[in-house]
Amino acid sequence: MTAVDTPTEVLARAREQVLDNGVGLSQTDILTVLQLPDEHLEELLALAHEVRLRWCGPEVEVEGIISLKTGGCPEDCHFCSQSGQFTSPVRTAWLDVPSLVEAAKQTAKTGATEFCIVAAVRGPDKRLMAQVAEGVKAIKDAVDINVACSLGMLTQAQVDELVAIGVHRYNHNLETARSHFDQVVTTHSWEERWETLRMVAAAGMEVCCGGIIGMGETVEQRAEFAAQLAELAPDEVPMNFLNPRPGTPFGDLPVLEGSEALKTIAAFRLAMPHTILRFAGGRELTLGDLGARQGMLGGINAVIVGNYLTTLGRPAESDIDLLTELRMPIKALSATL
Amino acid sequence: MQDGEAAATGFDPMAVVFCGQCGELLAAGDHLACQQRAELEPPRYCPQCARRMVVQVDPVGWHARCSRHGQYASD
Ligand code: SF4
């Protein structure tokens, strides 16, 4: 990319490099894509969709998530209503194992193949690990679904334990670009998160790592973040858009413009042509129904259906109906094993 | 509970005094923003006493428990 590249030139290069050869764009080219004028948005989304179809296929991976332990987290992630450091109205709650199994059943009924158990912690203690082990076993005994976990930063022994109990994917978001991280979190570092991800990958679990767009980062930092994720090469990248939470330091940040969100989706797809790129939290607010459709036709190939951890999502049926209408089959469990 | 979401068993709708979203008196202000927010948020405050509730969201709904007035749930 040079200063003289026009939008048409950069899209032509993306077509050759990413669509034809499956090689993700460089950070410089990602930035150019993110800075494309809005009149090129449709063309950009169409290219990202082609890339997704070519390298990932038409299937959509459907997932449900549940909060096993809500609120009272000692960390200070400035976007998070579950931090115990802010005056958020969210109170601490623990889910029991029967309720966890019920949530997995509800998720499986939508056709989902993934069920992610999430806890608001810096990292799991013995009590949480025991609850997770019991819960994963109970789910596996009762429901045909892949179980993923998101329990914060792990030790090597905890990584090994999760592998042993059959957790197939681990979510741990880097959240934002390395250069912006200290504006978002001060109680731990980007590098500590990276270390957990490295251990998870080395242990053979699938890696799920993404972040939140719209936390005051520059467009340059969005490109940096995409390049850093591409370097990590996660199996899945969940894309969240900031839903400003009352009582948190980011509670008054503006909601991201829909066109910005869509450009970011397409740019992340062009940075990571082979990854599972998942629509996650905040899309209802940022994109609405029309934007959700554009995103599905602009590089996304996975969704979280139903509610989130502390907020409500679109009804699962709305997303499933949309996939039917778009003729995008839900990925079958057999295809994920 | 101003968000039309649901009520505890035996819950008297006439007892709704506080906004489930902001915890303020329903009679004080129009709570339009709260009503909009309720589409994507479970209630956090007891509609009868405005205590903060323990809320559990699940894939298809939510449960909320007030230490004084008991359990509420989505439909
Ligand atoms: S570590 Fe997780 S739960 Fe805790 S404050 Fe950060 S984002 Fe929230």
ipTM for the complex?
Answer: 0.87
Among B58, B71, B72, the strongest candidate for a mutation testing the A interface, having the largest count of A CBs within 10 A, is B58
Q: Which residues of B touch A95 (CB under 8 A)?
A: 56
The predicted pLDDT at position A332 comes to 86
Measured between CA atoms, how close is B12 to chain A, in angstroms? 24
pLDDT at B11: 57
- Residue in chain B lying closest to A82 (CA): B55
Is A312 in contact with B23 (Cβ distance < 8 A)? no
Structure tokens of B52?
Answer: 């903060």
> In this predicted structure, what is the pLDDT of residue A163?
98
Nearest CA in chain A to B41: A311
Q: Which residues line ligand 1 (CB under 6 A)?
A: A 73, 75, 77, 80, 82-83, 120, 122, 152
Q: How far is the CA of A81 from the centre of ligand 1 (A)?
A: 8
Amino acid identity of residue A316, one-letter, is: A
pLDDT in tens, A195-250: 999 999 999 999 999 999 999 999 999 999 999 999 999 999 999 999 999 899 99
pLDDT at A107 over 70: yes
pLDDT recorded at residue A335: 64
Whether residue B7 has pLDDT greater than 60: no
pLDDT at A35: 96
Average pLDDT over residues A55-74: 96
Please state the atom number of ligand 1 nearest to the C-alpha of residue A83: 5
Q: What percent of chain A has pLDDT over 70?
A: 98
Residues in a beta bridge with A171: A208
What's the whole-model pTM score?
0.93
* Cα(A9)–Cα(A148) distance, integer angstroms: 41
What is the residue type of A66?
A: I
Q: What is the mean pLDDT of chain A?
A: 95
| Ligand 1 atom with minimal separation from the A152 CA | 1
The structural domains of chain A, ordered by start, are: 45-335 (3.20.20.70)
pLDDT score of A86 more than 90: yes
What is the C-alpha separation between A39 and A122, in angstroms, rounded? 43
User: What is the rounded average pLDDT of the residues B50-60?
Assistant: 95
- B57/A90 CB distance under 8 A: no
Instruction: Give A74 Cα–ligand 1 centroid separation in angstroms.
Output: 8
Contact (CB<8Å) A106/B39: no
A262-293 confidence digits (pLDDT tens): 999 999 999 999 999 999 999 989 998 888 89
The model's pLDDT over B24-49, given as tens digits with 9 standing for 90+, comes to: 999 988 999 999 989 899 999 999 99
Radius of gyration of chain B measured on its C-alpha atoms: 11
Residue A333 — very low, low, confident or very high, per pLDDT cuts 50/70/90? confident
Question: What single string gives the DSSP state of each residue in B31-46?
Answer: -HHHHHHTTT----B-
The residues spanned by each domain of chain B are: 3-73
Q: In the predicted model, is pLDDT for residue B3 greater than 60?
A: no
Looking at chain A, the whole-number percentage of residues with pLDDT higher than 90 is: 90
Q: Distance (Å, rounded) from C-alpha A16 to C-alpha A34?
A: 18
For chain A, strand residue ranges (E) read 61-70, 93-94, 114-119, 146-150, 169-171, 206-208, 211-213, 236-241, 276-279, 302-304
Q: Which of A77, A86, A125 to mutate to test the pocket of ligand 1 (most atoms within 8 A of CB)?
A: A77
Residue B1 confidence class, pLDDT cut points 50, 70, 90: very low
Long-range own/partner contacts, residues A286-293 (CB < 8 A, 24 or more apart) = A286/A214, A286/A241, A286/A243, A286/A255, A286/A256, A286/A257, A286/A258, A286/A261, A287/A241, A287/A258, A287/A261, A287/A262, A288/A258, A289/A314, A289/A318, A291/A258, A291/A261, A291/A262, A292/A319, A292/A322, A293/A322, A293/A326
Paired tokens of A134:
């019991």
pLDDT in tens, A137-191: 999 999 999 999 999 999 999 999 999 999 999 999 999 999 999 999 999 999 9
* pLDDT score, position A279: 94
Cβ distance A107 to B59 less than 8 Å, yes or no, reads: yes
pLDDT tens, A117-133?
Answer: 999 999 999 999 999 99
Nearest residue to A153 via CA among A177, A170, A140 = A170
Show the DSSP H helices in chain B as ranges: 32-37
Residue A2, phi then psi, degrees to nearest 5: -120, 175
* R_g of chain A, CA atoms, integer Å: 19
